[in-house]
Amino acid sequence: MKKFIDENFLLNNKTAEVLYHQYAKDMPVIDYHCHLPPDQIAEDRNFENLTQVWLYGDHYKWRAMRANGIAEEYITGDKSDWEKFEKWAETVPYTLRNPLYHWTHLELQRYFDVYDILSPATARKIYEECTAKLQTPEYSVRNLMRKMKVEWVATTDDPTDDLAYHQQIKSEGFEIKVLPAFRPDKAMQAEDLLALVAYVNKLEEVSGVSITDFNSYLAALKSRHDFFAEQGCRVSDHGLEQMYATDYSAEEIDVIFDKIITAKELTDIEVLQFKSAMLYYFSIWDHEKGWVQQYHLGALRNNNSRLLSSLGPDTGWDSIGDFQQGPMLSKFLNRLDGSNQLTKTILYNLNPADNELMATMIGNFNDGTVAGKIQFGSSWWFLDQKDGMTRQINALSNMGLLSRFVGMLTDSRSFLSYPRHEYFRRLLCNLLGEDVENGELPDDMEWLGKVVKDICFHNAKNYFGV
Q: What's the rounded mean pLDDT across residues 144-150? A: 98
Q: Are residues 197 and 84 in the same domain?
A: no
Give ∠ CA 320-325-326 in degrees, rounded to 5. 150
Distances (CA, A) of 236 to 53, 109, 154, 293, 299: 27, 34, 10, 5, 18
Q: Are residues 427 and 452 in the same domain?
A: yes
What are 71-126's pLDDT values in tens digits?
999 999 999 999 999 999 999 999 999 999 999 999 999 999 999 999 999 999 99
Confidence at 314, pLDDT banded by 50, 70, 90: confident
Q: Are residues 111 and 18 in the same domain?
A: no
In a domain, 4, yes or no: no
Q: What's the rounded mean pLDDT across residues 46-61? A: 96
Rounded Cα gap, residues 466 and 235, in angstroms: 10
Rounded Cα gap, residues 365 and 339, in angstroms: 13
Q: Among candidates 290, 293, 159, 153, which has minimal Cα distance to 237? A: 293
Confidence at 1, pLDDT banded by 50, 70, 90: confident
Q: What's the rounded mean pLDDT across residues 387-403? A: 98
What are 361-387's pLDDT values in tens digits?
999 999 999 999 999 999 999 999 999
Q: Are residues 329 and 221 in the same domain?
A: yes
Q: Any alpha helices (H) in 208-346, and if so which ranges? A: 214-230, 250-261, 268-289, 305-311, 326-338
Q: Are residues 281 and 366 in the same domain?
A: yes
pTM (predicted TM-score): 0.97
Q: Are residues 248 and 113 in the same domain?
A: no
What are 403-460's pLDDT values in tens digits?
999 999 999 989 999 999 999 999 999 999 999 999 999 999 999 999 999 999 999 9
Q: Are residues 266 and 318 in the same domain?
A: yes
Q: What's the rounded mean pLDDT across residues 254-275? A: 97
Residue 393 reports pLDDT greater than 90:
yes
In a domain, 325, yes or no: yes
In a domain, 8, yes or no: no
In a domain, 9, yes or no: no
In a domain, 402, yes or no: yes
Distances (CA, A) of 303 to 90, 94, 248, 353: 27, 25, 30, 21
Q: Are residues 90 and 227 in the same domain?
A: no
In a domain, 348, yes or no: yes
Which residues span the domain enclosing 186? Answer: 14-45+149-464
Residue 349 reports pLDDT greater than 90:
yes
End-to-end, the C-alpha distance of the chain in Å comes to: 44
Q: Are residues 288 and 389 in the same domain?
A: yes
Rounded Cα gap, residues 217 and 357, in angstroms: 35
Rounded Cα gap, residues 118 and 5, in angstroms: 13
CB burial class (10 A; 0-12, 13-18, 19+) of residue 71?
A: exposed
Rounded Cα gap, residues 44 and 84, in angstroms: 25
The count of domains in the chain is 2
Residue 113, pLDDT score: 98
Determine phi and psi for 425, rounding to 5 degrees: -65, -40
Q: Are residues 164 and 112 in the same domain?
A: no
Q: Which residues pair with 226 in a beta bridge?
A: none
Average predicted confidence (pLDDT) for the chain: 97
* CATH code assigned at 125: 1.10.2020.10
CB burial class (10 A; 0-12, 13-18, 19+) of residue 265?
A: exposed
Q: Are residues 131 and 181 in the same domain?
A: no
- Among the candidates 105, 139, 173, a domain finishes at 139
In a domain, 1, yes or no: no
Residue 117, pLDDT score: 98
Q: Are residues 360 and 377 in the same domain?
A: yes
In a domain, 329, yes or no: yes
Q: What is the DSSP letter of 115?
A: -
- Among the candidates 80, 115, 139, a domain finishes at 139
Q: How many helices (H) and strands (E) does the chain have?
A: 20, 10
Residue 2 reports pLDDT greater than 90:
no
- Among the candidates 85, 117, 139, a domain finishes at 139
Distances (CA, A) of 315 to 63, 171, 326: 9, 34, 29
